[in-house]
Amino acid sequence: MAEAHQAVAFQFTVTPDGFDLRLSREALKHIYLSGINSWKKRLIRIKNGILRGVYPGSPTSWLVVVMATVGSSYCNMDVSLGLVSCIQRCLPEGASSETVHSHHLQSQNFPNAGLEWIPCSARPFSDRCGPYQTPQTRALFSMAIFSTGVWVMGIFFFRQTLKLLLSYHGWMFEMHGRTSHFTKIWAICVRLLSSRRPMLYSFQTSLPKLPVPSVRATIQRYLESVRPLLDDVEYYRMETLAREFQYKTAPRLQKYLVLKSWWATNYVSDWWEEYIYLRGRSPIIVNSNYYVMDLVFIKNTDVQAARLGNIVHAMVMYRRKLDREEIKPVMALGMVPMCSYQMERMFNTTRIPGKETDVLQHLTDSRHVAVYHKGRFFKVWLYEGSRLLRPRDLEMQFQRILDDPSLPQPGEEKLAALTAGGRVEWAQARQAFFSSGKNKAALDAIERAAFFVALDEESYRYDPEDEASLSLYGKALLHGNCYNRWFDKSFTLISFKNGQLGLNTEHAWADAPIIGHLWEFVLGTDSFHLGYTESGHCLGKPNPALAPPLRLQWDIPRQCQAVIESSYQVARALADDVELYCFQFLPFGKGLIKKCRTSPDAFVQIALQLAHFRDRGKFCLTYEASMTRMFREGRTETVRSCTNESTAFVQAMMEGSHMKADLQDLFRKAAEKHQNMYRLAMTGAGIDRHLFCLYVVSKYLGVSSPFLAEVLSEPWRLSTSQIPQFQIRMFDPDQHPNHLGAGGGFGPVADDGYGVSYMIAECPALWEPHPPSPAGHCRSFPSSQD
């Protein structure tokens, strides 16, 4: 228990002679250095807040404006049009009214020109000058105030102009290669206003708000989206419900929603997070959490602890950049900024269970990670004092855990199954068994960790000779054995025995592109910046004097163990009901599709419609996730991919009697329709988020709407999403074509549905000698069986 004693700053006992106080020098040192580190971070946040707050201005630009104003006064030019004199007259005198200063102004507008004044040192002490008493001081101070006002107004003007420019989305609807003159001028203006190097959150206040679509447009798009799924009788019934809602109920609900859009930063995101994610009472394993795969053709090392040492070090480096806002914001077309607010809760975040709703607990800092290995939980410090541990030191710490022969405590091995079971059961168990004592202290160590690390004893890796290897790898990441992941953490870093890695990510705090940004940075840093020795270990020498990882202590009663086992059985049944299949599609990729002048995403979506119809013999409501991050605090919108045009193409393909030219024409119409719907969703003119918010308003007002109730209960039997790639350029993919991950995946939304995740990559000639990458051609098909 030496580690436990080191964690206590002081101990005291009461004796007949008084108090016997014992101080732990090591613990006090950590407390002192932690305080210093916290103050450094506060100062950095203050500095970043100032620089972010004045973007696109800067302290240098303020100084230039002040110097220009002062310089103009010496050239007998009044750029202020008399405002400096007005400001000067409003300044306090600084001395009593009985004090007389002898001075004469040769120019009314320039008080610093031709001044006659009595130096303060030559006057009696009682008449010495106040802060604004000398004419020069008053003049300079007035000019500084005027210059600051001009500077602030300039910043405000630039920001509002940029927000107005970013509200224009016409460029998205123009054909490739047919850019209008208006859009070209718009692009030049956007580049000029955003040319200064931004910090991560510099554009946040310049992003436009998500607009509220008109009820009429949303209803029309909805009816169009369900037409291919309903027969004439069902469609007429749904159209009647929709029109009744549009003219009777919706106007009142829409007024409240518009009012919220004026008041709130985003009229969707807070309700979406609360009601879709946090209020869900079913298990988040498979249903909500998703997974991310490692590089599959590159093997940097087989040493499990070494790979973890580099990766964890790279993740903390990323967090440091995130705290300092040194990460460049993601830009569409290299000039249109995307909202970055989701990145704020990437680290130090845990989903805390509640009986009615969960909450996201986010801490400003955390100096350790929680680790799980062979049924035991550990706490690993990331810093020695204020210094981040080097990769070799982290490798040593993880190796110590791997070599630890101790056994799990009673109830400890499957403890994390609580996070995989029902949310109500977990909330009740947390309150009953983890609200005090050593259980609370140990649980706090996990929930307050920067992230969670799972050290698995199994080995998974993609094997081109074994078709099932990629699927088994993905299934291990999606749910593991249901108790070796802490599913409530913002993300769990999973390490297999052969050095292969992956992530399991909680969905409430952010969407997949956010964790993808981190993963690209980490994998690139691991491969191209940190490196390994010839024997596969991290570079450098370890510091054996570091205190070993702290074993967390539990006291789990039998009643709690019964709850743990019950949660495990629920999660196990859910995991066993999911069939996951990952494969490569090798014949062609994005390059060939683009040569056919077709959107690669539209191509895949239409292919999925054809595949589903061949599988089930019918069409279904299809969900494709689209991002709305061009708006402030935007997250996602739904693209309803099953359209009249796509079903017409599928039916023509199934009939097999159409000419090739006719099929091409039908396919082109379906692709253009899909592209247009995707653009509408990205620009705030989607269907489902608007209807969802109207439904929430109706519940608040106690208004019953059969139309909304039916819309919100419709099952998504085909849920799809394209995985982003190359959000940041950590390396040149043409030079390193095999440094690509296999993407990731998620569980199906409906019990009898499919969840389809896919990545589409270029296929340049450079790739031909290499094995085609699953990152470019892999489609993950997690599907639950009846």
- What own/partner pairs with CB < 8 Å and gap ≥ 24 does 2-5 have? 3/547, 3/548, 3/549, 3/550, 3/551, 4/550, 4/553
Burial class (CB in 10 A: 0-12, 13-18, 19+), 671: buried
For 405-454, the three-class secondary structure string (H helix, E strand, C coil) is CCCCCCCCCCHHHHHCCCHHHHHHHHHHHCCCHHHHHHHHHHHCCCCEEE
| CB neighbourhood size of 461 (10 A) | 17
Give the C-alpha separation, 338 to 727, whole Å: 11
φ and ψ at 512, to 5 degrees? -55, -40
Q: Which of 30, 507, 612, 777 is catalytic?
A: 507
Q: Provide the edge-to-edge strand list for the sheet that holds 754-758.
A: 578-584, 778-784, 754-758, 718-722, 622-627, 636-640
Going from the C-alpha of 729 to that of each of 203, 321, 339, 523, the distances in angstroms are 21, 16, 19, 11
Give the C-alpha separation, 345 to 341, whole Å: 8
Nearest one of 287, 557, 275, 555 to 421, comparing CA atoms: 287
Using the CB atoms, write b or e for 43-68: b if 16+ within 10 Å: eeeeebeebbebbbbeeeebeebbee
Give the C-alpha separation, 111 to 120, whole Å: 18
**Residue pair 754/717 in contact by the 8 Å Cβ criterion:** yes
Give the C-alpha separation, 278 to 509, whole Å: 10
**DSSP SS3 for 532:** strand
| Residue corresponding to tokens 């094997």 | 463
According to DSSP, residue 489 is labeled B
Residue type, 515: I
Is the link from the previous residue into 56 a cis peptide, with omega within 30 of 0?
Answer: yes
- Please say if 537 is a catalytic residue: no
Q: How many residues does the chain have?
A: 786
Helices (H), 577-622: 590-595, 600-616
Give the C-alpha separation, 549 to 560, whole Å: 26
**DSSP SS3 for 381:** strand
Burial class (CB in 10 A: 0-12, 13-18, 19+), 597: exposed
**Residue pair 189/208 in contact by the 8 Å Cβ criterion:** no
Q: Residues with catalytic annotation?
A: 507
